[in-house]
Each structure stands twice: as structure tokens, then as C-alpha cells.
Structure 1
């Protein structure tokens, strides 16, 4: 392709075509057509950046030509030449022909040059944006495949190590050896938890919404079963209440991300001593909103950290648990669904996090 801007000019007067070519051929690569039919053929076969058409032509008008051209090649930027004032034609050109600008006849050479250059700038910016969008879509698709493939490949060996460790502990009576296996179990558990966090991170920040009807009681039952397998809740009093009498529509995967991270934090950031540990999970569906509240009597969050805990990799404690991702993922999921999140906390008293989510329609996202 040449470096010159490619310009197609359609006019039913041959003298105008010759004058246009002679005046602008040094600056641009010029294509000319004596009627709309020839112009459509050139627009279909050649790479064209800017199209200029006279409005008053036999057969198709300039506006009608542009309307037809959009169907076969919508990319070139369109300029209409008008030799008279006709507001109806101008409106038609804007609405049907998607015209970039108008130039009065007889045209001025410098005006034409500037208009072509400005129109070409728009053409090339749009093309660059389109190419980048395609690359981003490809990257997004590849990242989806990569994340899920990576998680699968990592978790397989982890589960094997964990299973072998559990079997070995049943057969070994040496307390020192048992301690080593406990260390292996702890390490594999942390890595497995991190992989889950990475998957949740991707679901909450990178994957588009999938809106379905939400049955909170079913989701909570499933999640609580998973939590009891994952965490030792024997020393916790867990109170769960779900109040839903009306349909609610949202992204189920992101709701699970929210529940997973809020509940996980409530378990992990507990006081080591100090009596009965408890966690309360309440979900109320009222009108067009779902209100999810998770409350605990854990270590709490100091006031100086409360504004930062929703930031990526932020931690509000020196306690060696967590990845610094949990509340960030909650915030991202909530904000993407148009909801809001509130935090109340007192040191050594506990924390309450309340999430309010609107019911969504498929057409909203």
C-alpha cells in the first residue's frame, strides 16, 4: 500500500473529475467515478480512505450513494459536495449517509485538502482502534483459556500430594515425621487456596456478566457445605438466614465470589483466644435489591486501615493469612454489578460488611 491517502471522488461532470485529479494527484492517490454505480464498484474493489460525492447526480444522489456504500464498505469517511442549500438533503445525508462533513461548490482547493486530511486522520484512528479491539478480544479469550488450564494443571498435582500425605500419616507413628506431613498439608492447603483466589479474581474482574435468576438459599447451602469441608468450623457458631420471597437476577459466579471472600475473611481473621467465635450471614431480598451482610466477632480492623482494605494486595493486619485479594475482589464484583459495599469494624470487637446488589436485566450489560 502507498503512503498516500486514497480518495474516491464521484461526480457526473467529467470536467470536475479531471480538475479534481489534476489539482490533488500530487498529494493523494485519486480514484474517480462518473456515476454512483462505478463509484460503488471502486469502493468495493479498492482500499479507499475518504470518499467525496456530489449531491446532485442523475440516478442516485450523493446521499443515496453513501447509503448504498455503507452496506458494502462502511469504513471510508464520507464528504458531500453541495451546490445549493437544501436542509432536507443535509438531514438525509447525516441520518442515512453518515456524512462526516459538507463542502459547498464550487470547492476551494485548500479547503478540500484540509478536509481530506482531517477525514483520513479519523479513518486511520478508527482502523487502529478496530485492530486493537480485535487483539484485546483475542487476548481476553486466550487469558480465559490460560487461567482455567493453569488452575487445572496446578490443582491436580496438589490434590495428589495432599492425598498421599494423608495416607502416609495413617501409617507413620513417628511424631517428627507426622509434623513434617502436617507442614506439607499446610503448604498445599495455602497453595490450593491461592489458586482458588486467582480463579475468583479472574471471575470478579475479567469475565463478562452472565445474568441468571438467583436462588440464594440453594447457593448458600452449597457454599456452606464447601466451607465446612475447607475450614474447621467446630469452634464457630455460624448463623445463616436467607429471606427471599421474590425473584432476583444477577451474576451467580460473582455472587459466589462475594460470599466466598467475605466468609473466608470472617473465619481467618478471628481472635485466637477470647471465648465463642461466631459468624452471621444474612441475605434479604427486598424490592429490587439483595442485601448481603456478613458479621463476625474477630480481630476487627483499625481505623487507619479501613479506607485501604478494598485496595489490591492491601492487608489490615500483620497476621500471616490471606493474600490481600479478598476484599478487592468483593469490591470489584460489587461495583461491576452496580452495587455498593459498606464496612463497619471495631478492633477486638469484630467486623460487619454489607453488600447491596441491584436486580439486573440481561439487557443492562
Structure 2
């Protein structure tokens, strides 16, 4: 972009000529006063030039040469109008004059000096400065030989020594402020890029750096401080910087105005221009570097016009900060116009005109920096607004979170209290210890049981082993604790005497791990005393059930036999009666049938009594024993048809007798019928006696007969199902078994006294529930 000034300078020039007279009050522009001669062979020396060369006047705007072959000779005539010697400074402003020599005409035509090294040049930058001493009221002719591989201009001025120092001081201050401000803005832009990560600030910093380097080529600082770069580019640094600056300006405009958002076509045009300028630069550097200057001159003007056109379109599209961008480059174009007007001599040369490019850059960067600053401020305000919104949102979320935490904390506390209530109200004993045997938690049941067992209170937070009385018990529990701390879940049973009663406990222990390491152990102890009682009852019932099963098997076998025998006998007797004609014999057969039927009836009665005893619950009623016994005797008259059996009854009823009448009748009927059956066998005076005593808490009955008695070897088995002590017995074998089972149901007891040939006495004792009523 800054290349525009030189491009316009090269495009527009017109001839002018004036007398070179030194002036102590102002600098003298001698650009149009210079005469020139081109030595195309490059072989003529100063002597031959003075003698043979024909010099021509330079155009009014100075001499412009695109491609110098050989040497360029300049002749400058200076007149000192003053009465004393005047020390003057001659300055050539073209930065591309890399090899320049100066000759003064005088005695012997001595060489007064040559171009100094780059780092020793004039403060104005790349200007070649020469010190010239002119005599009073005399004219000094100076010859200058210039060699350059690049295009050159012959712009030059002459100062008196005093004016020169004043001018350089002002330039020092101005240029120092100029580059200092640019450096500050560039560093600030990079800082903003690092801070915000917005690429526009990085591109803006690159844009400022390109402006600094470009203006530095005309001011001399680029060549002075970056001389290796100047030499590396072979004199084309200004041309390269012009191209790069225009490319960066286009990229910066594209990012600043966000052209892709509102016009994809313009974005593509800008992108194409950037690549085109880069391609032109590369091609010309590789193949025609000298023509590259000619090509690049109009590029700066075209780029400026495109920038103004695009930014104007952006203003119409109401793109954010597009006005700032348009004003920045419109102002820059204004200062370039001042520079061009001076070239045409429409306006006079001045400090403003001399540094119009610098002022244009300052204006451009100032407006852009304000815009970017506002963008940063707006971004900062948006960030603050977003942060405040986030803070409000965080505050709302925090309040909601605090409420949620509070609600959950309350729920946890409630659940903990509920869990604590469940644990404390549990019948199980629960406690928890760590690996140092410290009691961490316990429930009320465990604390109460401990106090009842060991007669002392258990202390939470203390070593539980040390609180156990007795060394043996301590070691026992320590070994159990150590076992579970090794990671093993265990179960065992213990019994302790509590309130004078042996209580049994089942204890389950589980290790508690943290990161697979056992940190504690939980103990759950359950009082299983009642369960053990139930288990024992279950065992007893199982034994009884086994007994019942055995008896049932025996019953089925014997019942089938005992039922079949009388039926078979009756069938046989019926067959005999059918074929018998003798009435006496028939009568005898009928008597035998009757006995078989009575036997079958008795067997069925026994089965019914057995069934009732197993199924029916005990009843409690007042029983008239005398009446019950007389009723039984009436039922058994058929067993004493002859009347030979003597029956003796004796009762003592001091208290009413309350028990189960049905079961009582079963017991007495079976025992009395047995006495009838065996009491008169082979006896001349058969007798059966029944006596009873009704006491307050029990009733005692004695049933005796004077029968053959029972051998001792049979006494222990007579109460078994279907067992018969006498092979000739006509009984079913169920009677005494039913008596014993019925008494068992009534919580009664039976005993027998007998001996062979001594008769038999049964004693039964039955609880009397009259006292309970």
C-alpha cells in the first residue's frame, strides 16, 4: 500500500530548472538543477568525463532511470553568495543508490570522498550525505558517479550545516515518535491476540510491521538496522515489502470486515487478489526482477481503490465498524494525494508533504486502533455481560444445588435416623469394629445384652477386646476378630447365661473393605434360643412322624389281616350253615358267626378310636365317672353273658373331674374290655375291679383282673400297635396302643403291674383341669 507513493512519483514527472544558490535560512531542493550523463560503457573516469562528456539537464521532478547500464554521472553547480566559507550538506534521498562517489573540482582535481557504508549514513535514513565546503562568493562544481542494479532517482537537497542539524533533530523526534507509536501498537495487537485468540489482531500486528518496514526503507532505518536483509534481497527489499504490505492489507480487510459473512463473492475476489499479488511477486523475482517495479507500481493504487470500494460496500451493508475502516483508508488516500500534488508542484514542498505517507499511516492506524479497541471493549463488555449472566445462572444453579444438597442431606439424615431406629429396634445384636479392635458402632440390643451378660456397660470408641472379662474369652474373641480381618467371612454359635437362663446366639461376621483392603468388620448376632427349641420340637415331631409312618405300615398290614380273618370265618360258617340240616349244629355255627362279627366290630371301633385320637383336639368338660363306667359296662354285657364274672366298682370323687370325655371313654372301655376278656380265663372266681380317686389336680384309675397275667418279657411291648401278649388272644392288638396314644394326647400316664398267673393291674393318671377353671 505504501508503495503507492513511489508508484505515483514514478508515473508523474515534469521538467523544471533553477539556479542552485546556497541559502542559510532554508534547504534548497536541487533535484531539477542537476545535470546528468550516462556512461553506458562504464569505463570513463573523472578526467574523461570532464573533458568529453555532454551533460543534459534533469527533468523538473528529477531524473528517473529504470535500468541503468554502466555509470550515471551527475554534475552539480553550487554558488556561495556569502562573504565567508559555507559548510553545506548534500543529500541524495534515493534509498537505492548503493554505490556513489563524489568528486570536487579544484587544484589537482582531487577526489573529495566516496559513499560511506550503510550504517554510517545520514540520520534521514538511506540518504547518502556529503559534506561540501564552498569558498565565499564562489561557485563549486561537483561530480557524482552512481552505480545501481535497481531503478534510481536523483532527488537531492542542500543544507547549510546549521539548518541540517536543526532539520535532523526535528526528524529524530518525529521519526522516533512515529516508529515508537507503531511499535507500541504492534506489541499491543500481539498482546490482544494472545489474550483473546482473535486472529484479526495478529493480522493487524503483521500489517503494522509491514508498514514499519516499508516506511523504514525510505527513512533509512530498514537498511540501517536490517542491512543483511537488504543485501539478501539484492536491492529489491522495497519492492518485496510493497507487495507483501498490499497482501497483508487485503487479508486484514477481509478479516476486519468479515466479508465471507455478507458477500462470499467479494471474499473470493479478495482471496484471488492476494494470491495474484503473491504470484506476481514470485514470478518477477525469479525471472524479471527489474520489471517487477514497473508491475508493482499500479498495484498499490488498485489495492487502495479496491479497499475503499469494499469498505464502502460494507458500510452500505451495515457491517459492524465498516465506517471506521472506510474512514481510515480514505484518510490514508488523502495524504497520498498530498504527496502526488507535490510531485506535480501544485502544492509547495513542506514537512507535512515530505512525511505525508507517515501521517497517512498514523491516521490509518489511529482510526483502526480505535475501532479495534472498541471491538475489544465490546468483546470485554460482552464477556462481562456473559459472565454476569453466568454468575446469575451459577447463582440460581448454586441455590438450586444448595437446596438439592440440603434436601438430600435431610433425606440422608432421615434415612440414617430410620436406619438407626431399625438397627436399635432390631432383636439382633449389631456392632462394628476397626482393625485396632476399636468399637465404632453398636445398637441398643447389643449394649443391653452386653450389660446383662457381663454386668458392666460397653464403651463406644474403646478397645472392645479389653472390655471383655476373662483372659480366655479375650483370646477367643481376639482370634475371631483377627480371622475376619484377614478377609474371611465367618459364622459361629455362642451361648451365655443371661438372667439365669442359657441363651444361644448365632453370630455372622463380614469384613468391610476399602480399596480391597479390610478396614473394619461388622457383626450380626441373633438370639436363636427359641429357634433351637423349635428345631428340637421339629426333631421330636420328625421322630414321631417316623414312628407314625412305621405304625401306619404295621397298621395297614395287620388291619388287612385282622379284617380278612373274621370275614373269611363268617364266609366259611355261612357255607356250613347252608349245608347243615341239624338245628343244634346251625345254632353253634350262628354263635361262631356272632363272635366273628363282634371281633370285627371291636376292630372297627378300635380304628375309629385311633382316628379320633389323632385328629380331634382335647375338650374340657365335667365328667361323671360313675355314670361313664356304668355305661361302658352296659355296652360290654355281651362279653359276660353267663354272669360268672364279678365286677367290683369303687370311687372317691372329692373334686369334680374335668377332662376330655370322648378320650376318657376310649381309655376306660379298652382297659375294662381287656379285663373282661382275660379276667375269667381258667379261673373259678373270675373278678374285675375298677377303682378311681378324683383329686384336685389329677385323677387316678385302677383296672384290675385276676387273669393269667403278663410275662415280664411282654410288658414293655404290650403298648405297641398290634402286639399280642397271648397267641390265643381274640383282641385286635390296637387297644393298649390306642390307650397309650390317647393318654399321651391328654398329658396322662399309664403303668402296669402283672406277673404270670397273678393277674394284671393298669394304673392311669390323668390331669384334672378343675383347678384351672
Distance change (3 Å), C-alpha of 1:82 and 1:258:
same
Quote the Cα distance in structure 1 between the aligned partners of 2:652 and 2:430: 62
1:57 and 2:418 aligned: no
1:269 and 2:678 aligned: yes
Distance change (3 Å), C-alpha of 1:191 and 1:89:
closer
1:216 and 2:216 aligned: no
Structure 1 counterpart of 2:667 = 258
Structure 1 counterpart of 2:583 = 174
The structure with more radius of gyration: 2
Quote the Cα distance in structure 1 between the aligned partners of 2:442 and 2:641: 79
Higher helix proportion: 2
Q: Decide which of 212, 226, 232 is 2:641's aligned counterpart.
A: 232
Q: Decide which of 709, 713, 719 is 1:304's aligned counterpart.
A: 713
RMSD of equivalent CA atoms: 5.0
Q: Decide which of 634, 650, 654 is 1:245's aligned counterpart.
A: 654
Paired residue secondary structure (2:636): helix
TM value normalised by structure 1: 0.56
Per-residue deviation, 1:242: 2.1
Q: Is the 8 A contact 2:750 2:762 kept in 1?
A: yes
Distance change (3 Å), C-alpha of 1:81 and 1:105:
farther
Q: Decide which of 694, 697, 700 is 1:285's aligned counterpart.
A: 694
Structure 2 counterpart of 1:194 = 603
Per-residue deviation, 1:102: 7.4
Structure 1 counterpart of 2:444 = 88
Per-residue deviation, 1:318: 1.6
Quote the Cα distance in structure 1 between the aligned partners of 2:507 and 2:614: 41
Per-residue deviation, 1:80: 7.6
Q: Decide which of 725, 729, 732 is 1:320's aligned counterpart.
A: 729
What do the CA deviations read for 1:213-244 (whole angstroms, capped 9, x no partner)? 33322322322222225653611111112211
Aligned 1:19-38 pairs, distance under 5 A: none
Quote the Cα distance in structure 2 between the aligned partners of 1:102 and 1:303: 54
Quote the Cα distance in structure 1 between the aligned partners of 2:709 and 2:509: 69
Quote the Cα distance in structure 2 between the aligned partners of 1:362 and 1:66: 43
Q: Is the 8 A contact 2:599 2:730 kept in 1?
A: no
Structure 2 counterpart of 1:207 = 616
Distance change (3 Å), C-alpha of 1:296 and 1:103:
closer
Aligned 1:354-365 pairs, distance under 5 A: 354-360=763-769
Quote the Cα distance in structure 1 between the aligned partners of 2:582 and 2:447: 89
Per-residue deviation, 1:299: 1.5
Quote the Cα distance in structure 2 between the aligned partners of 1:199 and 1:66: 55
Distance change (3 Å), C-alpha of 1:304 and 1:213:
same
Q: Is the 8 A contact 2:697 2:771 kept in 1?
A: no
Distance change (3 Å), C-alpha of 1:64 and 1:320:
same
Quote the Cα distance in structure 2 between the aligned partners of 1:290 and 1:350: 23
**Larger RCO: 1 or 2 (CA < 8 Å, sep 6+):** 1
Q: Is the 8 A contact 1:79 1:102 kept in 2?
A: no
Q: Is the 8 A contact 1:81 1:102 kept in 2?
A: no
Per-residue deviation, 1:293: 0.3
Which stretch of structure 1 is more off in the superposition, 290-299 or 318-327?
Answer: 318-327
What do the CA deviations read for 1:233-287 (whole angstroms, capped 9, x no partner)? 6111111122112123322222112101111111111344431211100011123
Structure 1 runs not aligned, ≥5 long: 1-33, 38-53, 71-77, 93-99, 116-121, 137-142, 144-153
Paired residue secondary structure (1:85): strand
Distance change (3 Å), C-alpha of 1:273 and 1:58:
closer
Per-residue deviation, 1:316: 1.3
Q: Is the 8 A contact 2:683 2:707 kept in 1?
A: no
Paired residue secondary structure (1:295): strand
Quote the Cα distance in structure 1 between the aligned partners of 2:619 and 2:691: 24
Quote the Cα distance in structure 1 between the aligned partners of 2:643 and 2:766: 31
Aligned 1:94-133 pairs, distance under 5 A: 106=512
Distance change (3 Å), C-alpha of 1:104 and 1:255:
same
Distance change (3 Å), C-alpha of 1:268 and 1:87:
same
Structure 2 runs not aligned, ≥5 long: 1-407, 434-439, 449-505, 525-530, 546-551, 553-562
Quote the Cα distance in structure 1 between the aligned partners of 2:711 and 2:730: 17
Quote the Cα distance in structure 1 between the aligned partners of 2:702 and 2:670: 12
Q: Decide which of 717, 739, 742 is 1:333's aligned counterpart.
A: 742
Distance change (3 Å), C-alpha of 1:58 and 1:225:
same
Which stretch of structure 1 is more off in the superposition, 328-337 or 277-286?
Answer: 328-337
Distance change (3 Å), C-alpha of 1:55 and 1:187:
farther
